[in-house]
């Protein structure tokens, strides 16, 4: 079975057929999905999705995009939802981090402040973190090193840095998640990372509705298209598709602490 460790099924792009897509996942070989919040409304919609669908788990937090709108009340709300859930379906804090590429108009100090605050929250709640980091490798690394380290403490989502940088995040205890990008022809770094990450630290993710793999690039992504990513990762690592699937399934359940 495939575990999609990063999806956004509460996106309006699924408003027309969300229920049908989620119902079809199992038949498409996808056993579990983590839906990831990004802004304040999606903290609520992610919570609702996780509580409604057996195969959907939830990750609650505010993406660097959303930090200008957040406050201490947002932190309290996330804490309250995690307590209400009582360890059943909410499995991490995220996606949180730094984005100096798309979001350079959001002051870096503000991004850092809420990144650190949400890392503290994850520690308090005893949950791992899902990290979004774009063009901010060094600052992300330094903040994580200071605030949140340890085996299985989090996921580097949509990993887009070098193999050398991957080694440093792995040393802090992080897992590395890869998606559609590994199927892109020119994605040299991502392919190198896919071959390099130790077998107990690699995860699969869609980031759907975004980032559809080849040959579906440019269309709406969903977890079933991870089949193409499994093929690419298996080829890059020189293992069978079944092995690639099995190893990433085990890793995802271990990281999110979901009984198999």
Residues of this chain that interact with Ni ion (CB under 5 A) are 207
We find the least distance from the C-beta atom of residue 95 to Ni ion, in angstroms, to be 5
> How far, rounded to the nearest angstrom, does the alpha carbon of residue 99 sit from its chain's CA centroid?
15
Give 61 or 234: the residue with its C-beta nearer to Ni ion: 61
Rounded least distance, CB 260 to Ni ion, Å: 25
Measured distance CA(214)–CA(138) in Å, rounded: 30
Residue with smallest beta-carbon separation from Ni ion: 207
Comparing CB distances to Ni ion, the nearer of 95 and 234 is 95
Tokens describing residue 9: 């099924």
| Beta carbon of residue 243, minimum distance to Ni ion (angstroms, whole number) | 27
Dihedral angle computed from the Cα positions of residues 59, 148, 107 and 11, in that order, rounded to the nearest 10 degrees? -10
| Cβ proximity to Ni ion, 205 vs 228, nearer residue | 205
Residue 74: CB minimum distance to Ni ion, A: 18
The pair of structure tokens assigned to 22 is: 């989620």
CA distances in angstroms from 201 to 11, 74, 218, 254, listed in the order given? 28, 31, 29, 10
Nearer to Ni ion, 134 or 191 (CB): 134
- 234/248 with CB nearer Ni ion: 248
Question: Residue 29 and residue 13: Cα distance in Å, rounded?
Answer: 22
Closest approach, Cβ 211 to Ni ion, in A, equals 9
- Picking from 239, 233, 215, the residue whose alpha carbon sits closest to that of residue 225 is 215
């Amino acid at each position: 079975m495939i575990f999609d460790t990063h999806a956004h099924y509460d996106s309006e792009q699924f408003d027309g057929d969300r229920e049908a897509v989620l119902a079809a996942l199992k038949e498409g070989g996808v056993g579990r999905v983590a839906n990831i919040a990004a802004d304040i409304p999606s903290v609520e919609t992610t919570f609702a999705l996780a509580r409604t669908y057996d195969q959907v788990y939830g990750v609650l937090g505010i993406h660097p995009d959303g930090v200008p709108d957040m406050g201490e009340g947002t932190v309290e709300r996330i804490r309250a939802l995690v307590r209400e859930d009582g360890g059943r379906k909410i499995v991490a804090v995220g996606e949180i981090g730094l984005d100096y590429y798309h979001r350079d108009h959001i002051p870096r100090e503000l991004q850092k402040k809420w990144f650190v605050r949400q890392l503290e929250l994850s520690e308090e709640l005893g949950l791992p973190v899902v990290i979004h980091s774009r063009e901010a490798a060094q600052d992300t690394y330094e903040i994580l090193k200071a605030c949140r380290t340890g085996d299985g403490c989090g996921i580097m989502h949509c990993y887009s840095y070098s193999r050398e940088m991957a080694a440093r995040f792995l040393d802090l205890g992080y897992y590395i998640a890869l998606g559609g990008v590994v199927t892109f022809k020119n994605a040299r770094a991502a392919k190198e990372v896919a071959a390099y990450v130790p077998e107990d630290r690699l995860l699969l993710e869609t980031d759907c509705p975004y980032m559809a793999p080849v040959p579906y690039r440019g269309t709406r992504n969903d977890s079933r298209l991870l089949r193409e990513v499994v093929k690419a990762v298996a080829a890059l690592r020189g293992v069978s598709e079944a092995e690639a699937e099995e190893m990433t399934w085990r890793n995802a359940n271990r990281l999110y602490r979901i009984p198999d």
